[in-house]
Every structure is written in C-alpha cells, then in structure tokens.
Chain A
Amino acid sequence: MADMKIGAYVCQGCGLGERLDTKALAQVAQKEGKAHIVREHEFLCNAQGVAMIQKDIDEEGVNRVVIGACSRRAKAEAFHFPTVAVSRVNLREQVIWSQPATDEARELTQEMAEDYMRMGCAEAKKVVAPTPNAAVGTNKRILVVGGGVTGMTAALEAARAGYDVLLVEKTAALGGVMAKLFKRVPFREPYSDPQPTGVEDLVAAVTNEPRITVFLHATTTRTSGAPGQFSVDITTESGQTQTENVGAIVMASGFTPYDASRLPELGYGKSPNVVDQSGLEALALAAAAKGEPMRRPSDGREIKSVVFVQCAGQRDASGTHLRYCSGHCCNTSMKQAMYFKDQNPDIDTVVLFTDLRTPGNGEDFYRSAQKKGVTFTKGKVSGVEAAGDGSAVVKFHDLILDEPAATMAGVDLVVLATGQVPNSGVNIDIPADATDVDDKPVEHAVSVLNLTYRQGPDVPQLKYGFTDSHFICFPYETRRTGIYTAGPVRRPMDIAQAMDDATGAALKAIQEVENAALGRAAHPRSGDLSFPTFRREGCTQCKRCTVECPFGAIDEDEQRYPQFNEGRCRRCGTCMGACPVRVISFENYSIDSVGSQIKAVDVPDEFSEKPRILLLACENDAYPALDMAGVNRRVSSAFVRTIPVRCLGSVNTIWITDALNSGYDGVMLMGCKHGDEYQCHFVKGSELAAYRMSKIDDTLKNLNLEADRVRNLEVAITDMERVPQLINDYAAKIQEIGMSPFKGF
C-alpha cells in the first residue's frame, strides 16, 4: 500500500524508561519496523502523549499506530484512535513486569521488548481499520414464532419500543398454554392466592397493537438470510404462503407437557381420576364455566380427597423419564390445591414431594397454602392403584416416618406434576439419516424455523432439548445470530419468568437489527466491523469452513463455494483457522497479520542458548491471565513471544509450521477449557485447535522434530499463578530436548 504511514510510539512511564533502552526500541521500530515517525514519550497515556499521537494522525497522515506501552487491556480509553489501525505492544505487563528487575536480566528483557516492537510494526503493516460491510441488511422488523404468553409478550414489548412485529401462531388462536389455565400463580404482593391469568387482556393488547401483524394457523416454512435481511415463508393451514422480510427472530415455541401415559405405574391412562397438571386445569376451567365445583371424572361424584404427586416423571436419575426439574410444578400444585381449598376447606389436599421448590416469594405462597390447610408430606410415590369404589390408593415411601410402604387410600383425584418438554424442533446434532439401536430411522421432530442453513433447520440445542445458552453470564448468547429463543423452549419456567424472558429476548432482537444495519458484530466481539472475505480462485471447496463455523454463518452457493453471510458472522476466525489453503481473512486479522509477527521475531542462532518459543494465547482468558501474572510480578521465561489470537479456533496450522520452519524451538497454544462444560466463547474453538494440533504430529515427523515442539494447553482467566509455571515448565522442556535444527534457514 503506497499510502501506508506508520507512527511508532514508545512510552517511558511505569518503569519502562528505567528497565528498557527505549531509544534502542525506537530505532528498532524505525530501521527494522520501517516506521515513518518514531517518538519516545515519558508518559504516553496522559493527555499530552495522546495529543501527540493524534496530531501525527491529523497532520502527518499517520494511518497505522504502534504503541509500545502497556497491555491492550489497559488505557483503552486513552489510546482510542478509531480512524486508524492500532497495534498495542505490551512492554509493561508482559515484558518488564514478567521479568526480574535485575541487571543480569536486562539483556534478555531488552531483547524481548525489541522483538515485540518488531512484531507490532509487522502487524501494523498488515492490518487496516475495518470498514463496514456494504451489503448490510437494514430490515428492522421482528418475527416472533409462537403466540403463547412468551411470544405475545415479546411481540408487545418490541412494538412498544417502536418496532414492527410479525407474530406467527400455529393454532387457530393466540394464548397458548396460558389460555388453558384456570388461574395462574400470584406474581406480585401478596403472594397468597391464585390470580386470573389475564390472557384475554394480553390477547386484546396484541390484537389491538397496530405495529403487530398476527398470522394464525400459520408456520414458518422457510427461513433464510441473515440479521437485518432474513427472508421468511409464512404458510397458513390452507396452504397459502407469503414471503416476508424481517431483521431478527424471537423463537417462542413453548413446551409440551411430558406424556403422562409413560407413567402407567402412577395410574395415568388406567383411571380417569388420575390427571396431569394440565388435565386438572381443564377440569377446573370446565367446572368454572358451569359454575360448579370440580367433580370426580369417573363418576361425577363429589371430590373429598386430592393427592398431588410432585416430580412425576421428573428428576429421574435413571434417565427413563425427564432428568431435570421443571421448576414451576411445586407452585402449580399448590395453586391447584387452593382451587379445592378455596372452594371447600374440608377437601383433603396432600402434596407428596421430595424437595419442595418455591424460590423467592414462592415461599409466601407456600405459607399461604399451609395456612389454607394444604398438607405437605415428604415422600416418594411408588404407585397409584384403583380401589373398587373408583377411588385410588397412593403408595409411597414416607421419608419422615421412614415408612417404605406407606399408603393413602380413598383418594378421589390424583394429579401428576409432570414436566415441560421443549418444542425446539429438529435436533441438528443428530444427522437427518441417523438410525437408532434397532437400525430404525430416528424420528425427527417437526422443524420450527425451517432454516435453510447448511448446518440444519433449527437452532442448536443445549441439553435435554432446551435451546438455552451455555453461558452463565450470557443467557441470550445464541449460536444463530439474530435468532433468540425465549420461554420454556429455552429453559423450564413459569409465566412470570417467561414474560421477563420474552422481554429480554425482544431487546436482543432489537439490538441485533440496529447493529446489523451498521455492519457491527454481535457479542462477544460486539461492534467489530471486520468480516471474513475469501479468495474464491484459491478455494478448493473442502467445506471445512462451512462445517466448523460455530454459528452456522457459512452456506454454499450453487457452485459449491462457501457463501459467507456476514451478518451471521461473529468474527471469531474459526473459518480462517480451518482453511487449509488460507484464502480466508479479515481486514484487521489475517494469516498474514499474525504470520508476519511470527516472522518478525529475531531468532538467534543455534549456539546462542537463547531458544524462541511462540505462544498463541486466547485473547479472552489466557492473555488476561498472562497480564495479571505480570501485574503480580510473576516471572516467566524471557524466551517466549506471545501473540493474542481471537480464539484458538482461528489458529491456522500454517502459523505453527512457519514458526518451526523459521527456527522457533517450540510453540505453545493456550486456550479455554473444552468438552461438555466448555469455556470457549466461540463454542468449539479450543476443541478444534486441540483436534488440529493432534494432527500436526505428522508434520513434525516430516520435519524430523519432536512431538514436544508443540504443546496445547487449557487455561482459565484465573490462572495467573499457573500460567507462568506452565511457560517455565515448557521452557525447561525445550531446554531438555535442545535447540531446533532449523535455525538460520
């Protein structure tokens, strides 16, 4: 680039001036780094220092800035030059603070600093401040799939913020499960009595909201595109399809009660007097419509005794039924017991439970139930049997009296608290043509969204079919950018939680349409304007990028080339790491921007006793841990040169082979934990890196190098004590196996 002009600045503050020869660093930047302007400053992050840099940008045409000072994680507010590419050279935390402040250490510390200046200048030459993608989608309508309480709330809340909404409901009416309830659990003070569901008001509010268009008897039969530019086919029962464009999607497809007929031991299906919680609601609604008390389903006799069986087919460690707890059922059973108690306090209501779970103010509701005379017994139900008179006998292990063969007889109605099963559509982790143990084809659920994405028609599921986020800190983290799930499809929940959840999901959908229109990335690289581009003529159509993208951002075009949907991309660089022919890059992060840093390091000859170890560190966890080790003045080997990477998933094996070919003695990778409880914020980055590195052994063999020349490590951000230890252990290992034979080639 003809107009490239690098300004390199070396700070002398925080002890850099005493510990390092900053003049020599400036010379390195000028002579080797080819910086056009080089300046030292005694306190670069103060107003004067920042003004000096800004002046060079404004008046001297500097468009690449190299800052030799503290970590990129420090003083970000001061060193904010949005119009140019900025390379931060970490001389403080990871050089002087990680090396002993002794005269003996001076030479190696200086060598480290000089290498990092070379690397910073090399990077600066290869990156530009990204310009947003011109092909952004600017549609700001929100599509909500599902017209239950979650979907209606999401639609209404988005509309109230000024956004147009399309609401698609599969059945003939809005309301979902909420419309099938007699009453709901109280959601504000006093938490004492069942409350009207309010579903009519909610349906009316949705219907009367001019910004919301409702499609009944309708499903989404095709969804393609990207945030800001989704194209959706909405098909009604009559077979008519219309295509609409939307900017983001909230999936609120709800739940189905667990099939109680799988619990014959609890009498369901054998006697009409055994119902599940939704069955009880139906009885209550029917009775209320008639203005009569509920009666025994089998013979219409008066109900005198009701038993509620908690955790029916739930919390089942054997895995026969649901393993999880659905959260709402304890409160729901108490509410249902109150249906009887409020009607006639003499009706005997017993809740049989193992752990009663009424968090928060549910505790008030629990006390209210006790006050109304609902009995709570800690016991594990083993069976429900019919007696001759139409009543039932409930057999249970009484855990308080430690009576394994306790019974309750003369029970008129048994209510099974079964759990919520999410309506999450197709499990895309199971191949479409998969077969079960008996070689029969696996039956797939009906798709909810019918995405045309190469990776499958619905959003990925986390566990037990729920589409929840894997991350504790980021409940709306989604692996399908611009598509947010809410309500019981995401996690088991009650009405109050579903309404709150719907509001959160609607916010994320709105945020996504706003950012998509500006070409900005979504979390975790929020605001990043870079996006992947590929050199089509070099592509071999190997499909690794399309398969490995954690966000399903890459499809295939008609000619089977990868088709990048930039709006779906989260800028992790996994595709770049995957590409064997290295045709994928970002404006501010590329094979070359890292590769040239690797090559910029001065590799001393074989006899110097100064090995060089490359450390590629995940910028979210490993790199901060290295910084904090420095803050705590933990010493680590001076032979290591660290480059932060967006994710280990972006590490292309060419970087490793290039490093080894150019005489590095070892390469370390530090990334996040992988496996079931993975920590990688790009889902599979560290796992993919581990896999790719397991394949690098052949390369090492071809180069006649030891397997220990490459080491892949899992670290956490808190490993500020362990990380220096890992580095020093590896440096010792390299010392032991000796210097690389590739020096000076």
Chain B
Amino acid sequence: MADVVATNETIVVIGGGISGMTAAVEAAETGKDVILLERAPSLGGRVSQLYKYFPKLCHPTCGMEINLRRLRGNRRIKVLTLAEVQKVTGEAGNYQVTATLHPRFVNENCTACGACAEAVTAEIDNPFDYGLSRMKAAYLPFTMAHPQRYVIDPSLIGTEEAQKAKDACRYDAIDLDMKPETVTFSAGAIIWATGWRPYDAAKIQPYGYDRYANVITSVEFERLADTRGPTGGRILRPSDGKEAKNVAFIQCAGSRDRNHLTHCSRICCMASLKQTTYMRERFGDDAQSSIYYIDIRAIDRFEDFYQKVQADSTVKFIKSKVANITEDEATGDVILHGVDTEGYHRYDNRHDLCVLAVGMEPSVDVRRIADVAVDASGFIEVNGPNGAIFGAGCAANALDVNRSVQSATASVLRAVQVVNRVAKAEG
C-alpha cells in the first residue's frame, strides 16, 4: 500500500456505509485528504440492502450513485476495502491507525467482466441477502458494488476451483497468493462510522426465531420484498415458499427491553409501516398486515406516513407486547399470543409470516480498538472525552438514514477543526 499517503492532516473515516461515505465525500469536498476504510469488499453498507427508504419509498441506490460519483471524481479520497481496523493509538492531531487488509485475491486489473464467476461452480451463502440465497464463490458483492471488482472467497483458496477462476481471467487480475497485510496510517482526526447490526433475534427466546422458519427479521424482509432479492420481490415465506399474504410485524423486538437493548432503536416503527406498503404493493387488497406495538414512533413529518398507513384498510394496529409465538407444525403458520392492552383482550392470532422489527446495536465494540467513551448501549458519546475520534451515524446513536447523514456531516466539521489546527501549527 505504498501509494497511500497519510499525514496528521489526514482524516481517516472508518466504515463505508452511508455515514462513512458521506463523511468522506463531505470532508474531501472541503479540501481535506481522506482515507476511507471499509471492512467489507465494497462500499454501501446496510442501506444498500434495503428495498426502499421511508418515508418517500425511494431507492437507496439512487443516493448511492450520486455519492459514488462524487467519490470517484475526488482524488483526495483513498478507499481501502476489506480493511479491518485493529488498533488506534495516539491523540488528537496525531493518531496511528493500524488495519489489516484482507486479501481479495483480485487486483485492480479486474474489469468486472464476470468470467471468473462463470468458471467457478462452488457456492456460498450470500451475505447481501442475509444468507437467504446462495451465490458463486467468485462474486461481485452486488450490482452497484464499488470498487467494481470481483472477490474470490477465501474458502476457494487451495482448491481446484480457485485455479479455474484464475485460468478464466484474461487480465491477470486474480492473484491467489495474496496475503493479509497490516498497515498503519497517520491521522489527525478519525470519524468512526461503523454503523449498526440487527440485534440477534435468537436471543428473544419466546419469539422462536431460531426454531420457526416463518419468523424472520425486518432486514430479511427487505430482501424478500426487493425485486433484486432472492425471491425477485415476491414475498414468499421461508418454510414452503408460499406467498405470505398475512404478515405480523412485532415492534420493539429486542428494543426498549431491559433484558435486551434498553434503548429505542428509532427506525423500527417507520420500517414496519414502510413494509406494510410492500405488502400492499404485492398483494393489493388481499394483503393483511398486523402491527403489534407499544408506541408508534413516527416522529416529525413521518407522522404523515403513519396517518397514510392507518388509512389503509389492510393494516391493523394492535397495542401489545407479544408474549410468545408458537408454530402450527402442520401448516408452518405462526401463532402470536398476548393481550391487546387497549381494552385488555386476549388473542391467539394466526399469521403466514412474522417479521421481528429487530433493534439496532453498534456493529463494533469500539472500546476494543480505541480509547473511546461509549454510552450504556455501546454508542460513541458525541460529547465524550474522545480527543479527535468522532462518532458518526449509527455508531453514535440509533438513527435513521437522514439523521445519520446529518450526524456524519457534523462529524466532518469536528474533524476539520482538528486538522486545520494541525495545519496552522505546522505552518
């Protein structure tokens, strides 16, 4: 990585999802040098796996296209993918960031022609679809992936399949001898944008995510609804591939709960309201969506969206924390048990599919890597004694996309203040 030049006027951005990409382009467009480190093989992060955004029901890749164009057109940004940060040491204005660069086994000669994927037969679970589909072990992570470069899965290394991929490449782009590499960069300030991961739904034992095929998470439901997803956008339930026309959405699955995540994850109510529109889009008046909720948190203008969904006759709202779920083994249907607290009615409701609106938790335990103050949920304290390490987006709080981008933009100014001070001191 001899071509990466970093000084203590460089801003290192960790994480290449929507927050990290935003931070990188906003900083670079303010005239700062940026290194963007992403652990996955491509940029885009979790939003690229969403079918649509609330409340406009527009597509995440639209904004991503603009951000990618800004990023590609700006020579101040150096992007490193498959880069896992191991350690951050130092202080404001003088950090050392150590990262492992995992091998892609494909170099920059790659034209994304796809010949290697054609040659290979081995398949692996597709992480882009949360494992709901399989893909070739030589792959482009998704159609809009940046860098537009294939990846050879490490499981192929040492097999004949790997050699087949190499032989198929006419551009000398496959290098099966690539080894992990450890690199260290200087940085004046660090923007920490490692985002979130869905709370492990299996931990909510009464809901049986690990036992019942037809209990899935809200992020998985996005893939089922996506026309580019594993079912081509048909909402088919996992157990038998039947159309799931009667779907239960359980809010606060793992959030607002002392046994799980104590915070409210903010996005889940809107996400479920949005997902009822997918149901209507697919099944029209035949759709049946039931939302089991404690409070519907449709803050500010989102209230409009809530009112629109409330007006949809195919959507029911039940104020209840679902007690538990059982499965009808004969049909695969799921049965939700609990009490509707509005009027105190006991229910045992049958549904084709149950979607758990799982909460957000920070995807990385930051304290393992850097000396950073976090709150009880593990989010980076914006006002904490963190030197020039600034949390952005969902690494700092449970935020929706718009607020994540806003947070990322704010973090850039905090970083700019530090590198401008360094620049001034150094004349």
A contact set with B: CB distance below 8 Å: 13-15, 43, 45-46, 70, 73-77, 80, 157-158, 160-162, 187-189, 315, 317, 323-327, 353, 355-364, 367, 378, 399-402, 463-464, 466, 468, 471-476, 491-493, 497, 500-501, 503-504, 506-508, 510-511, 514-515, 523-524, 526-527, 620-621, 624, 628, 631-632, 672-673, 677, 679, 681, 716-718, 720-721
The chain B residue sitting closest to A621, CB to CB, is B62
Inter-chain contact B171/A46, CB cutoff 8 Å: yes
Inter-chain contact B304/A507, CB cutoff 8 Å: no
The chain B residue sitting closest to A524, CB to CB, is B66
Most B CB within 10 A of own CB, among A43, A326, A359, A716: A359
Tell me, yes or no, whether B30 is within 8 Å of chain A by CB: yes
Whole-angstrom distance from the CB of A112 to the nearest CB of chain B? Answer: 19
Inter-chain contact B410/A504, CB cutoff 8 Å: yes
Alpha-carbon gap, A367 to B264, bound state (A): 12
Quick one: which of B59, B113, B264 contacts A716, CB cutoff 8 A?
B59
Alpha-carbon gap, A356 to B252, bound state (A): 13
The chain A residue sitting closest to B384, CB to CB, is A188
* Chain B window 107-119, contacts with chain A (Cβ cutoff 8 Å), 1 for yes, 0 for no: 0010111000000
Inter-chain contact B417/A476, CB cutoff 8 Å: no
Inter-chain contact A363/B73, CB cutoff 8 Å: no
Whole-angstrom distance from the CB of A320 to the nearest CB of chain B? Answer: 14
* Chain B window 370-391, contacts with chain A (Cβ cutoff 8 Å), 1 for yes, 0 for no: 0000011100011110000000
5 A-B contacts, Cβ less than 8 Å apart? Answer: A355-B298, A357-B299, A364-B263, A523-B66, A632-B143
- Give chain A residues whose Cβ lies under 8 Å from the Cβ of B288: none
Considering the complex of A and B, which 6 residue pairs feature the smallest CB-CB distances, nearest first? Answer: A473-B63, A507-B413, A504-B409, A503-B410, A359-B266, A504-B410
Instruction: Given A43-B109, A503-B409, A524-B69, output 7 extra A-B contacts at Cβ < 8 Å.
Output: A76-B72, A189-B375, A507-B26, A507-B30, A621-B62, A628-B143, A673-B58
Alpha-carbon gap, A363 to B407, bound state (A): 20
- Give chain A residues whose Cβ lies under 8 Å from the Cβ of B75: 80
Which of B125-133, B216-224, B349-357, B395-403 participates in binding chain A? B395-403
Quick one: which of A327, A472, A510 contacts B53, CB cutoff 8 A?
A472
* Chain B window 6-39, contacts with chain A (Cβ cutoff 8 Å), 1 for yes, 0 for no: 0000000000001000100110011100000000
The chain B residue sitting closest to A322, CB to CB, is B303
Alpha-carbon gap, A74 to B64, bound state (A): 15
- Give chain A residues whose Cβ lies under 8 Å from the Cβ of B319: 378, 399
Inter-chain contact A161/B417, CB cutoff 8 Å: yes
Whole-angstrom distance from the CB of A377 to the nearest CB of chain B? Answer: 12
Inter-chain contact B29/A515, CB cutoff 8 Å: yes
Inter-chain contact A189/B376, CB cutoff 8 Å: yes
Whole-angstrom distance from the CB of B305 to the nearest CB of chain A? Answer: 11
Beyond A464-B301, A507-B30, whether A74 also contacts B59 by CB under 8 A is no
Inter-chain contact B63/A511, CB cutoff 8 Å: no
Tell me, yes or no, whether B46 is within 8 Å of chain A by CB: no
Q: Residues of B within 8 Å of A, CB-based: how many?
A: 84
Quick one: which of A324, A359, A492, A506 contacts B264, CB cutoff 8 A?
A359
Tell me, yes or no, whether B343 is within 8 Å of chain A by CB: yes
Beyond A324-B303, A327-B300, A510-B413, whether A523 also contacts B264 by CB under 8 A is no
Most A CB within 10 A of own CB, among B26, B109, B264: B264
- Give chain B residues whose Cβ lies under 8 Å from the Cβ of A43: 109, 111, 170-171
- Give chain A residues whose Cβ lies under 8 Å from the Cβ of B56: 472, 677, 679
Tell me, yes or no, whether B414 is within 8 Å of chain A by CB: yes
- Give chain B residues whose Cβ lies under 8 Å from the Cβ of A514: 30-31
- Give chain A residues whose Cβ lies under 8 Å from the Cβ of B73: 76, 526-527
Tell me, yes or no, whether B122 is within 8 Å of chain A by CB: no
Tell me, yes or no, whether B227 is within 8 Å of chain A by CB: yes
- Give chain A residues whose Cβ lies under 8 Å from the Cβ of B262: 363-364, 367
Beyond A507-B412, A511-B29, A526-B25, whether A718 also contacts B300 by CB under 8 A is no
Tell me, yes or no, whether B296 is within 8 Å of chain A by CB: yes
Tell me, yes or no, whether B87 is within 8 Å of chain A by CB: no
Quick one: which of B29, B59, B342 contacts A527, CB cutoff 8 A?
B29
Quick one: which of A162, A355, A716 contacts B58, CB cutoff 8 A?
A716
Inter-chain contact B381/A325, CB cutoff 8 Å: no
Whole-angstrom distance from the CB of A668 to the nearest CB of chain B? Answer: 20
B contact set with A: CB distance below 8 Å: 18, 22, 25-26, 29-31, 53, 56-67, 69-70, 72-75, 109, 111-113, 143-144, 148, 170-171, 227-228, 256, 262-266, 295-304, 307, 319, 341-344, 375-377, 381-384, 397-399, 401-403, 405-407, 409-410, 412-414, 416-417, 420, 424
Alpha-carbon gap, A402 to B73, bound state (A): 60
- Give chain B residues whose Cβ lies under 8 Å from the Cβ of A77: 72
- Give chain A residues whose Cβ lies under 8 Å from the Cβ of B344: 400
Beyond A510-B413, A527-B73, whether A357 also contacts B297 by CB under 8 A is yes
Whole-angstrom distance from the CB of B111 to the nearest CB of chain A? Answer: 5
Beyond A628-B144, A677-B57, whether A501 also contacts B29 by CB under 8 A is no
Inter-chain contact A475/B406, CB cutoff 8 Å: yes
Alpha-carbon gap, A193 to B295, bound state (A): 23
The chain B residue sitting closest to A325, CB to CB, is B303
Inter-chain contact B30/A473, CB cutoff 8 Å: no
Inter-chain contact B263/A677, CB cutoff 8 Å: no
The chain A residue sitting closest to B31, CB to CB, is A514
Inter-chain contact A718/B417, CB cutoff 8 Å: no
Alpha-carbon gap, A464 to B303, bound state (A): 12
Inter-chain contact B62/A476, CB cutoff 8 Å: no
Beyond A13-B171, A325-B299, A717-B65, whether A161 also contacts B266 by CB under 8 A is no
Whole-angstrom distance from the CB of A477 to the nearest CB of chain B? Answer: 10
Quick one: which of A160, A325, A508, A681 contacts B66, CB cutoff 8 A?
A681
- Give chain B residues whose Cβ lies under 8 Å from the Cβ of A474: 63, 66, 405
Alpha-carbon gap, A327 to B342, bound state (A): 24
Whole-angstrom distance from the CB of A224 to the nearest CB of chain B? Answer: 25
- Give chain A residues whose Cβ lies under 8 Å from the Cβ of B256: 363
Alpha-carbon gap, A251 to B230, bound state (A): 46
Most B CB within 10 A of own CB, among A324, A472, A677: A472
Whole-angstrom distance from the CB of A186 to the nearest CB of chain B? Answer: 11
Whole-angstrom distance from the CB of A152 to the nearest CB of chain B? Answer: 15
Inter-chain contact B409/A13, CB cutoff 8 Å: no
Inter-chain contact A399/B299, CB cutoff 8 Å: no
The chain B residue sitting closest to A190, CB to CB, is B376
Inter-chain contact A361/B375, CB cutoff 8 Å: yes
Whole-angstrom distance from the CB of B400 to the nearest CB of chain A? Answer: 8
Alpha-carbon gap, A221 to B148, bound state (A): 51
Whole-angstrom distance from the CB of A440 to the nearest CB of chain B? Answer: 29
Quick one: which of B66, B70, B113, B303 contacts A323, CB cutoff 8 A?
B303
Alpha-carbon gap, A315 to B30, bound state (A): 39
Whole-angstrom distance from the CB of B326 to the nearest CB of chain A? Answer: 26
Whole-angstrom distance from the CB of B308 to the nearest CB of chain A? Answer: 10
Quick one: which of B26, B109, B376, B406 contacts A501, CB cutoff 8 A?
B406
Inter-chain contact A360/B398, CB cutoff 8 Å: yes
Inter-chain contact A187/B383, CB cutoff 8 Å: yes
- Give chain B residues whose Cβ lies under 8 Å from the Cβ of A70: 111
Whole-angstrom distance from the CB of B417 to the nearest CB of chain A? Answer: 5
Alpha-carbon gap, A349 to B287, bound state (A): 42
